[in-house]
Amino acid sequence: MYIRKLVKSGISSFTLALPKNWIEKHELKKGDLLYVEEYIDDTLIISTNIKQEKKEKKELVINTEKKEISSLIRELRAAYLNDYFRIVVKGKNLKDYKSQIKSTIKDLVALEPIDEDQEKVVARNFLNISDVSIKDIFRRIDNITRSMLIDMISCLKNEDVSKEITERDADVNRLVFLVLKILKTSAKDSNTAKAININGIQIIRFWEAILHIEKIADEAKRNARLNATINKNKGKIMVDELEELQKTVLKQYEDVMKAFYKEDIALSDKVSSERFELMKKFDEYFEKNRGLEIADICSKMKSVLSQINDISKIVRYLKEREE
């Protein structure tokens, strides 16, 4: 490692002395061009040539022979996350799985089927990551999940809302895969990360948080159906108490996301410390109102509290800005 001091040169510029042996090694002389590239972690790379990097347009062939549909869907999603340009799903038994394969492709943002016949389906990736705002997509997923929690609670009074929540959960799933795709590509390619203005710590923070938010959305979807059942079968006092308990969980989610965006350690710690008392309240509620549906609801609400607590840990341990 070499240490050099910046020297003022003129009114608005500075110069830096380069090691003599490096100059000689590359046979450089006065007037030769050097190239300086800035990276998102404040690193500067000085080189003797410009890297002309063209993104490789990768193609993956997924063979359906001797595979279960669940395995094929996981392969297809993995290919999407790994940013393959073309994905070909082929095999003599494709006809048995074609509708599910095409449905999976439809659920992956910017992946479109471009060709098909009896033994193959070809999909192409049309996503230009540099045109995407990861923070805007993350906010959208958060907002959809909040609305799902709010309407989940309203299912205690209006059972029909549960159908809309299920549709929104599908939107969350689509957007989550999009976020994971962008984050994984950014982690592998510093130029992509620079283009969308994201650094290493942010990649980890968003990746971890989005997985917990997705699980919260899943629990909201499932609990909405259970709440609708409670609405039909239980008394008003019991439903009112459950409604208040679920509102406290919604408040916990709102607070932890506020802490996440503002990197508010104190608020995230407050959310974490309150979860024990809230879980205890759900246990007490179950003891007073035993039943299979109540057990399931309380279990799912405690699961949401656990996911919220894990997001609070992200705020605490992956703080981006130093004090």
Q: Which two tokens stand for residue 271?
A: 């959310």
CATH 1.20.58.220 fits 130-317, yes or no: yes
Distance CA 118, CA 98 (A): 9
Read off the pLDDT band of 273 (50, 70, 90). very high
List the domain boundaries for the chain: 7-47, 59-125, 130-317
pLDDT in tens, 98-127: 999 999 999 999 999 999 998 999 999 999
Identify the pLDDT of residue 90.
95
pLDDT in tens, 200-223: 999 999 999 999 999 999 999 999
Task: Tell if the pTM clears 0.75, that is, is over it.
Answer: yes
Residue 52 has pLDDT above 60, yes or no: no
Question: What are residue 125's DSSP bridge partners?
Answer: 111
Helix%, strand%, coil% for the chain, nearest 5? 60, 10, 25
Characterize the bridge pairing of strands 111-117 and 44-47.
unpaired
Residue 195 has pLDDT above 60, yes or no: yes
> Mean pLDDT, the chain, as a whole number?
89
Phi, psi (5° rounding) for residue 9? -140, 100
Identify the pLDDT of residue 116.
93
